[in-house]
C-alpha cells in the first residue's frame, strides 16, 4: 500500500472540489476510506456508485468534508451515530467479504441526496 500515492489522490480530489464550486452542494466525498484502520493492508476494495448524504450529516458537519483514510467526519460522531445506510453498507461489506480489511470508495466521489441528482 503506497500511502504517499493515495494521499496525493485524496489531495487531488480536494483540489478538484475547490476548483469546481458546484461541488460545494455535496456534503462530502468518499475515497480510500478503511473499514478499520488498524486492520492492516486492505484485502478488498468495495466500490459504491455515489456516497449518500443525510440531513443530519449537514447538521453535524455543516461544511463540505470527506470520508477518507485521513479524515472521516463520521468518526467524531462515533460508530453508533452513523446513518442507517452507512451502517448497513459497512456491515454488508464485512459480511460479504468475511473480512475487516476493507477500503471503501465510490465511482462518483461526491455525495448527493439521491442518485437522480448525481446523474443530472
Domain spans in the chain, listed from the N-terminal domain onward: 3-119
Per-residue pLDDT of the chain (120 residues; tens, 9 = 90+): 789 999 999 999 999 999 999 998 899 999 999 999 898 899 999 999 888 888 888 888 888 899 999 998 887 766 667 778 888 889 999 999 998 899 999 998 898 766 554 444
3-state secondary structure the chain: CCHHHHHHHHHHHHHHHHHCHHHHHCCEEECCEECCHHHCCCCEEEEECCCECCHHHHHHCCCCEEECCCCECCCCCCHHHCCHHHHHHHHHHHHHHCCCCEEEEECCCECECCHHHHHC
Amino acid at each position: 500500500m503506497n500511502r504517499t500515492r493515495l494521499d496525493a489522490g485524496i489531495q487531488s480530489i480536494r483540489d478538484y472540489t475547490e476548483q469546481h464550486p458546484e461541488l460545494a452542494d455535496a456534503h462530502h466525498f468518499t475515497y480510500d476510506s478503511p473499514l478499520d484502520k488498524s486492520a492492516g493492508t486492505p484485502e478488498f476494495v468495495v466500490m459504491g456508485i455515489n456516497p449518500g448524504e443525510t440531513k443530519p450529516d449537514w447538521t453535524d458537519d455543516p461544511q463540505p468534508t470527506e470520508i477518507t483514510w485521513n479524515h472521516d467526519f463520521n468518526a467524531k460522531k462515533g460508530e453508533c451515530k452513523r446513518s442507517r445506510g452507512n451502517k448497513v453498507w459497512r456491515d454488508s461489506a464485512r459480511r460479504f467479504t468475511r473480512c475487516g480489511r476493507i477500503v471503501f470508495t465510490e465511482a462518483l466521489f461526491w455525495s448527493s441526496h439521491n442518485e437522480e441528482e448525481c446523474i443530472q
